[in-house]
């Protein structure tokens, strides 16, 4: 389905929300009106104040919370696990219907996953299944640190085996540099010559920031790759 993108990660805490917010702002700067959806958010201290969803709304003002994040749990775990622990339920089919209804009225929808591509959403269904069901393309956010070559390759293999198109991988700086520096971009480019490997992004002063307004400009954040990334997404 053209115009539908799933931002996934190689792990939790790799910067999916930061990158998604940047994409939302950049698309708006081009005159588009992207609608963000985080189908399920877990780890909500206050169910009425889901942190990631509110950051997405701040980046795309005017979209109601119920549209952005229809399902919320307090337990910081995979959606299927959080639902089981809390004795509540959501359905994979219900999430698919929610996204389709929003997509029918909006030409550009940006989904943000939770954790990685194979995180269970409902029973045996994962975010990979959601991408397949919806016909979404994939943007993978990877931690620019030791271990990312394996994590990123596993995610790319999972997407490839399911026929999910990958638009790009964004290497994101989310922690202190490794003691021994490795050029992860060069390594991944050699392993995956058909996939754009972008970044790494600039390290942010406040690693918890999702707005970036007080940290760095979008151009500085992504460097040269910023315009290229947005062009890839806009053309999808």
**Set 33, 38, 125, 205: catalytic member:** 38
**Cα-to-chain-centroid distance, residue 119:** 13
Backbone phi, then psi, for 119, in 5-degree steps? -65, 130
Range list of H helices, 31-126: 51-59, 65-68, 79-86, 92-105
Q: How far apart are CA 168 and CA 14, in angstroms?
A: 15
Q: Which helix (H) or strand (E) holds 198?
A: strand 197-198
Q: How far apart are CA 40 and CA 73, in angstroms?
A: 8
Question: And the tokens for 147?
Answer: 């271990």
Question: And the tokens for 177?
Answer: 């540099």
Assess whether 38 carries a catalytic annotation: yes
Taking a C-beta distance cutoff of 8 angstroms, is the pair 233, 29 a contact?
no
Helix (H, G, I), strand (E, B) or coil at 67: helix
In sequence order, which residues have a C-beta less than 8 Å from that of residue 145 and are 6 or more positions away? 174, 175, 178, 184
- Known catalytic residues are 38
């Amino acid at each position: 389905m053209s115009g539908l993108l799933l931002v996934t990660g190689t792990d939790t805490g790799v910067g999916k929300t930061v990158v998604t917010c940047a994409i939302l702002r950049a698309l708006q700067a081009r005159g588009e009106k992207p609608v963000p959806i985080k189908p399920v958010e877990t780890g909500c201290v206050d169910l009425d104040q889901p942190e990631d969803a509110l950051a997405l709304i701040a980046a795309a003002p005017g979209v109601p919370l119920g549209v952005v994040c229809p399902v919320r749990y307090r337990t910081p775990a995979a959606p299927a696990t959080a639902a089981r622990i809390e004795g509540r339920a959501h359905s994979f089919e219900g999430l698919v219907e929610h996204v389709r209804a929003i997509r029918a009225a909006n030409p550009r929808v940006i989904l943000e996953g939770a954790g990685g591509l194979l995180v269970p959403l409902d029973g045996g269904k994962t975010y990979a299944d959601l991408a397949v069901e919806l016909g979404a393309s994939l943007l993978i956010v990877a931690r620019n640190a030791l271990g990312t070559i394996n994590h990123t390759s596993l995610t790319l293999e999972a997407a490839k085996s399911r026929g999910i198109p990958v638009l790009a991988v964004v290497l994101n700086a989310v922690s202190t540099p490794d003691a021994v520096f490795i050029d992860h971009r060069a390594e991944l480019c050699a392993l995956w010559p058909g996939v754009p490997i972008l970044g790494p992004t600039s390290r942010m002063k406040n690693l918890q920031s999702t707005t970036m307004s007080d940290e760095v400009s979008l151009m500085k954040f992504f460097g040269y790759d910023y315009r290229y990334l947005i062009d890839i997404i806009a053309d999808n």
